[in-house]
Amino acid sequence: MKRMFSIVPLVAVLVWSAACASQKAPAETALKAAEAAWAEISAEATRYVPDLAKGIDDALATARQAFDRGNYEAALKDATDLPAKIADVQKALTDKKSEWTAAWTTLGSTLGTGLTAIQGKVDELLAAKKLPAGVTKATVDGAKATLATAEQAFTDAKSAYAGGDYAGALAKANQVRAQLAQVATDLKLDMPLLKEAGSALADSAKETIQGVMEKK
């Protein structure tokens, strides 16, 4: 009887080991699948939704550690939970990129026209024999230099957008917007919409500049 009792723990260990071993392959498969799915979007997710990306990185690390320690049951559970979490991050990433795209469309479609319109006014003032009240040659020269910087920034913004750097594109576009607003202020142009990223920016620029030229 004593011998039988002494065998029971050994049998239990063997059964437990067999159960763990039976979960090793599924755990490894699930873990590799999760790692592969995450590899496809991790770079963009880290850029645009960093907090969510860190959550996935941490969860993968936990599952991998469990697997390496032989805790295949925990590794399998963690790895099985990951696809749904990765899908949530993918959706968040898609939503964020849509926000960037919408914002860029608004800015990019208007700032180019705003640049052209204000450049026309600057060229007119550079050629004028008499400047409007409150506008000096130094002011016009400064506006010309600012516009040159704005044009380069706009080119950089378009390049950034084409390369998928939405945050960089919007940052550059906002720089252009601020510079156009500054030029409008310096040249005493009544263009309040230059301070906003509205769809009416281009029309406002055209109408205002045409009005100023007609009044001169």
Q: What is the pLDDT of residue 191?
A: 64
Q: Can you list the positions of beta strands (E) in 29-185?
A: none
Helix axes 2-48, 72-127, angle to 10 degrees: 10
Domain ranges of the chain: 24-95, 97-215
CB atoms within 10 A of CB 49: 21
**Whole-number mean pLDDT of the chain?**
79
CB atoms within 10 A of CB 35: 16
- Tens digits of residue pLDDT in 140-175: 999 999 999 999 999 999 998 888 887 788 888 888
Q: How far is CA 95 from the centre of its chain?
A: 10
How far is the C-alpha of 71 from the C-alpha of 64, rounded, in Å?
10
Question: Are 208 and 180 contacting, i.e. CB atoms less than 8 angstroms apart?
Answer: no
How far is the C-alpha of 199 from the C-alpha of 203, rounded, in Å?
8
Whether the pLDDT of residue 126 is over 50: the answer is yes
- Tens digits of residue pLDDT in 29-39: 999 999 999 99
Residue 15 burial class via C-beta count within 10 angstroms: exposed 0-12, middle 13-18, buried 19 and up: exposed
The two structure tokens encoding residue 200: 């009416």
- Does the pTM surpass 0.75? The reply is no
